[in-house]
Structure 1
Amino acid sequence: MGVHRFIGTNARDAMRQVRESLGDDALILSNRQVEGGVEIVAMLDADQEHLTGHPAEPAPAVSVPVAPAPATPAPEPTSPSTTASGQQEMQAFSAQLMSELSAMRDLLDTRLTAAPAVEAPGATPATRLRQRMIGVGFSQTLVRELIALLPAEFADTPDAEIDETLNGWISRQIAARLETPEDNDDLLAAGGVMALIGPTGVGKTTTTAKLAARYVMAHGNRDAALITTDSYRIGAQEQLRIYARLLGVEVHALEGDGDLGVLLARLITPRRALLQMQKATPKRTILIDTLGMSQRDPRLATEVARLGEAGVPIQTLLVLDAASHGDTLEQVVAAYRQAALQAGTPIRGCIITKLDESARPATVLDILARHRLRVLYVANGQRVPEDLAPVDIEALVHSALAADDASPFGYDEATLAEMAGRSRESKARALSRDVVSHGRSLHAMFDTLVRQAPGTAQLEQLWRHGARNVAGESFAARMAELTTEQVDEQALWWSKEGGTRNAGWHMPLVTLDDHGLPLPRVWLRHRLPASEAARMGWARETHHSAWHLMAAPPAQEEMHRLSSDKCLWMASVTASRRVRHHGERQRLADLAGLAEEIDQRTCRWRGRTVNLVLSCLPAMHEARGSAAPAEVLVWFARLHDVDDNRLLARRYWLSNAVTGRDVASRLARAVALEGLEGLTRQAMHRLEDASVARSDRETRLQLAAGLAALATRLELCSEDWAMDVRAQLFNLAGGTRRRTGTVLLEALLQAFMARDALAGTGAERT
């Protein structure tokens, strides 16, 4: 007989080893948590029977040896009473063993069928994400998509913080994929004809009444009307009539063969005679409660087609039951979306009902996120109109992630096999799934960039024009005149004068935000006024620059003007630059030892993290031909290796003294921006190789500088949104995790080109 010990990463893995080694008839002797996983001690069923009927000394175990009995002389014949006593003890032991085995099997069954609520210590971020999301009801499709986008930074997150960090990241990813209107009240305030569509029993009639009540409370009841096309369900028309009487609005019932177009025309433009008799009022908002039909009903397309044949623009609103199963919701969305498109009335958005009845709100959020359906309202009960509310994405996602009770419907064998990579899914199906997944990820990523990096929308316009390679007037020149969104406390980065080496073009000016991070809003230098005074005037009047980062100091007159305007300027200089300190003109290199150290911080430089030690010294700047010297601050920087503190480089800057401005943090950004011009040069070559804006050099230059600025911003920014975008870009670029401007620039170019390719397949809009 053999007693065997098996250790697996979890209970399921250990049980798999038991079955492979001992078969399905194995008996479990013990199960406990050990370092590295779960330990199961088991034996063959046949060995247990042999032990019960013929007590004998166990044979050496395969993996855990049982201590042998002490050596004894040859056994003496035993008496019958001794034999009977031994058999009784063995039978008692066997009964106890079987009892413990039964309890152990029940325990294992509970552990293996329920979704794990707490992740095993040491689990990878991907494992934690999978367990977390599958456990609350998200689909494998979305989980796979998010796992591919996990930021590399999570690998260094301490175990004590990883769960909170991961939950925040999941919340941001789901929220980024949920579309909502900027103002829910616009749905009703704009008026028009709206039809609520959806399967039977999802709450269309009650939701229609709630919408009507919201409108009446805000705009009155004279110009509102209700229509029901449900002539099959008993009491449906009477239910809507009761609500209409309470609200004081007109209600009309349309039979199955009635003409919806005629009724709408009569409500929108009543006959003149009725108007004169004050028996009718033109209706500004009309809500239609349609007949509920199963998504599998062949008459569905015909019923929805009535809306498109009415001759009046109708907005269709899909009502989804949050308590429905995910597969049901998937079919509902597919069937009703196709029917609405065929009818010429695309679905404008969705209203989620019965959210209070849903045990897994994540299911409906998964559907909305993957299908890019706009969420208009959520309903949490039957009260009219209290239980209909605008969408609070943060609260909605939080409630979805909070539903962490174990579910008997999760973690079946097929699911586990697929998550472990053992699925036999065909390559063609996997490729199709990946294309759609990339389309959704790209859509969410560009939406994030538009919100977080002002100027991205203009960059997209430049790309679309450049991709078409339309010859003629420079599109970039027109783009510079477009009114763009304003950025609080925006600044300008001025590169060196003159053309880039062997390129024949001037590096554009780049907009910076208040923290010194570049934005993809750039300005062609040769399109600006020629003189420095005129350019600075443009920056002040048109660009509204609050401060400047320069590759060379401004003219002496501009120094005085900027100081009088309390506008900060910072300029890079060489060690041989001379300033007056204590009445003597001295080189900056000679003054470094006199400066007072004021700041130490880490920053990015040439694609790596370095330590920046910053010192400062007041001085006077003089220029030939200028009678009045300017008060300046001289800044000295040492860049050290973060590992061995080796000195890597020195940097020198001049600035004016403006109160309320954090110069140190901006100079740390200035170190990172040194590579911006080189990155623009790389972008110019890549765009030319890709035949983007080949016929329009100005557009190509502005596009290259904007892409370089965006790549640099993504490299430098440490906020959560930037980490998420980097993860999406790295996944698109093949999984690389090098956080450098060059890698991010290449990934951005691939993202733009991939979106162009996906636009033709429709995957991006899926």
Structure 2
Amino acid sequence: MRVKRYVVQSMPDALSLIRSELGNDAVILNTKEIRVGGFMGMFRKKRMEVIAAIESEQPPSKQPPRPIAPQQAYRPPAQPPVYSAMQEETAAKATVVAQLRKEEREEPPQALSSPTPAAKQPQSFHKPETDSELAEEIRQMKQMIIGFSRQQTHPISRPAPMQSLYDRLILQEVASERVNQLLEEIASTDGYSTEWSAEATWNAARSILVGWLAPFQTTGITSSVRILHFVGPTGVGKTTTIAKLAAEQALQHKRRAGFITSDTYRIAAVDQLRTYANILNVPLEVVFSPLELSRAFKQLEDRDLIFMDTAGRNFRNELYVSEVNSLIQGRIDSDTYLVLSLTGKSKDMNIVARNFAEYGINKVLFTKSDETDSYGSILNIVLEHQLRPVYIASGQNVPEDIAPFDVQRYVDQLLGEWANE
């Protein structure tokens, strides 16, 4: 890593130097105000100290391949026998039961009065103190093994339409507990029969899912909101989304927009938003700390709507979430959108949503819906964290590729056509 220190009069001067010397991928590590020059501690001038760094690329080491002796013939390793996970678990439990019975038969009577030395005591399990406890543990283990065997021998049997619906939702990455809950509600519907057709099953599922999501339906940007914050991990499309919404508000609602960015973690991020600002003829203010927000708001006081872009960080870390939360608090006429990409892993999206939901953020905007065929993560996140989906974006075109989230349209997309399943 190359690290370099700059002492300049203002931050824009530092950005220009960093960009020219370290490139657009440089990262600002620290900024602070210092005093330089002067005479005997007097007449010193204020300057800005900026520490920047960039990862240095290390060429891969080139080692010649080790020659193989001609007499050495390759022999494939012996393949171990293949067992299913259920067979391995059943065999392990049976081994424990056999070991317990063996020790019960072989242990001498005096072992009850004279304790076994610590070094000779078995470490793989806790030995019961009495014969009755041993018998009870053996009985419980036998019941567990029998239960596992029954589950393996007699899998859950569903009518063909219900099984097709189950397979469709699992393929869409809907959480299994949500799928089972949906199937149970369908089965408890008035007039339900195992002879229902696929069309009737799909219609019942559609009605139930719409009922689940309807309480979270919300409108887009309201007239009472003047400041709109966008938070979320890096690479989810916050900056492009801001440009889409700003253009949509300007063209359809005739609201004059302004941009504020605190995403100074990467140098190129400011340039991207500045490019959109120039195209849309929108003023842009750059802030480096919460103390500079009042100045930025003062500069944009004639704007009807202000879009604020925040730095994309690893928001699985709660520390970064609390830092961003401190930056966006304090305004009653503001709102905050959590931006998530549908191409992300469901587990990671769930952790990020949970961390932001703990700070009271309750609206989410999904991006990159055109880059995936799985939409179950929307249902999982909305129901798990009580978040209201506001918009869904589907491409790079500004401002066309964004639309308000519609529950009915989403459920149709999630279920697909029953005839195709």
The one of 247, 257, 265 aligned to 1:224:
257
1:239-278 matches, within 5 Å, as 239-256=272-289, 258-268=291-301
| Structure 2 equivalent of residue 233 of structure 1 | 266
Amino acid of the residue matched to residue 138 of structure 1?
A: V
Q: Hey, what's the Cα distance between the residues in 2 that align with 1:153 and 1:231?
A: 54
SS of corresponding position for 2:300: helix
SS of corresponding position for 1:194: strand
TM-score (norm 2): 0.57
The answer to whether the aligner puts 1:330 opposite 2:321 as a matched pair is no
Percent identity (aligned) = 28
| Structure 2 equivalent of residue 303 of structure 1 | 324
Contact 2:362 2:386 in 1 (8 A): no
What are the Cα deviations for residues 478-516 of structure 1, in whole angstroms up to 9, with x where unaligned? xxxxxxxxxxxxxxxxxxxxxxxxxxxxxxxxxxxxxxx
What are the Cα deviations for residues 170-219 of structure 1, in whole angstroms up to 9, with x where unaligned? 222222222455543xx144441110111111110000111100111024
| Structure 2 equivalent of residue 204 of structure 1 | 238
| Structure 1 equivalent of residue 181 of structure 2 | 145
Structure 2 gaps, min length 5: 1-82, 92-155
| Structure 1 equivalent of residue 372 of structure 2 | 358
Amino acid of the residue matched to residue 414 of structure 2?
A: A
1:168-207 matches, within 5 Å, as 168-178=203-213, 179=215, 181=217, 183-184=219-220, 187-207=221-241
Q: Hey, what's the Cα distance between the residues in 2 that align with 1:394 and 1:376?
A: 14
Q: Hey, what's the Cα distance between the residues in 2 that align with 1:348 and 1:152?
A: 32
Amino acid of the residue matched to residue 176 of structure 1?
A: G
| Structure 2 equivalent of residue 389 of structure 1 | 403
SS of corresponding position for 2:245: helix
Amino acid of the residue matched to residue 239 of structure 1?
A: Q
| Structure 1 equivalent of residue 336 of structure 2 | 316
Amino acid of the residue matched to residue 180 of structure 2?
A: R
| Structure 2 equivalent of residue 294 of structure 1 | 314
Deviation at 1:295, TM superposition (A): 1.8
What are the Cα deviations for residues 96-121 of structure 1, in whole angstroms up to 9, with x where unaligned? xxxxxxxxxxxxxxxxxxxxxxxx99
1:620-699 matches, within 5 Å, as none
Query: Paired residues, what number?
Result: 268
SS of corresponding position for 1:299: helix
What are the Cα deviations for residues 322-354 of structure 1, in whole angstroms up to 9, with x where unaligned? 11121111101001122xx2xxxx324211100
CA 1:257–1:403 in 2, change beyond 3 Å: closer, same or farther?
farther
Contact 2:357 2:385 in 1 (8 A): no
Contact 1:136 1:403 in 2 (8 A): no
What are the Cα deviations for residues 429-484 of structure 1, in whole angstroms up to 9, with x where unaligned? xxxxxxxxxxxxxxxxxxxxxxxxxxxxxxxxxxxxxxxxxxxxxxxxxxxxxxxx
1:79-158 matches, within 5 Å, as 123=159, 127-153=163-189, 156-157=192-193
Deviation at 1:389, TM superposition (A): 0.9
Amino acid of the residue matched to residue 194 of structure 1?
A: L
The one of 162, 169, 176 aligned to 2:197:
162
Contact 2:218 2:390 in 1 (8 A): no
Contact 1:380 1:388 in 2 (8 A): yes
The answer to whether the aligner puts 1:399 opposite 2:413 as a matched pair is yes
Q: Hey, what's the Cα distance between the residues in 2 that align with 1:361 and 1:403?
A: 15
Contact 1:261 1:312 in 2 (8 A): no
1:660-739 matches, within 5 Å, as none
CA 1:170–1:251 in 2, change beyond 3 Å: closer, same or farther?
same
Deviation at 1:403, TM superposition (A): 9.7
SS of corresponding position for 1:376: strand
The one of 389, 412, 419 aligned to 1:375:
389
CA 1:248–1:364 in 2, change beyond 3 Å: closer, same or farther?
same
Q: Hey, what's the Cα distance between the residues in 1 that align with 2:416 and 2:87?
A: 36
1:401-416 matches, within 5 Å, as 401-402=415-416
Contact 1:377 1:391 in 2 (8 A): yes
Q: Hey, what's the Cα distance between the residues in 1 that align with 2:253 and 2:171?
A: 44
CA 1:333–1:207 in 2, change beyond 3 Å: closer, same or farther?
same
Q: Hey, what's the Cα distance between the residues in 1 that align with 2:378 and 2:162?
A: 23
Amino acid of the residue matched to residue 302 of structure 1?
A: E
Amino acid of the residue matched to residue 316 of structure 2?
A: R
Contact 1:188 1:285 in 2 (8 A): no
Contact 2:390 2:405 in 1 (8 A): yes
TM-score (norm 1): 0.32
SS of corresponding position for 2:267: coil
Amino acid of the residue matched to residue 162 of structure 1?
A: S
Contact 1:323 1:354 in 2 (8 A): yes
Q: Hey, what's the Cα distance between the residues in 1 that align with 2:267 and 2:233?
A: 16
Deviation at 1:128, TM superposition (A): 5.0
Q: Hey, what's the Cα distance between the residues in 2 that align with 1:384 and 1:326?
A: 27
Deviation at 1:125, TM superposition (A): 6.8
Contact 2:161 2:201 in 1 (8 A): yes
Structure 1 gaps, min length 5: 1-14, 24-119, 269-281, 405-766
Q: Considering only aligned residues, what root-mean-square deviation do their CA atoms show, in Å?
A: 3.2
Q: Hey, what's the Cα distance between the residues in 2 that align with 1:182 and 1:334?
A: 20
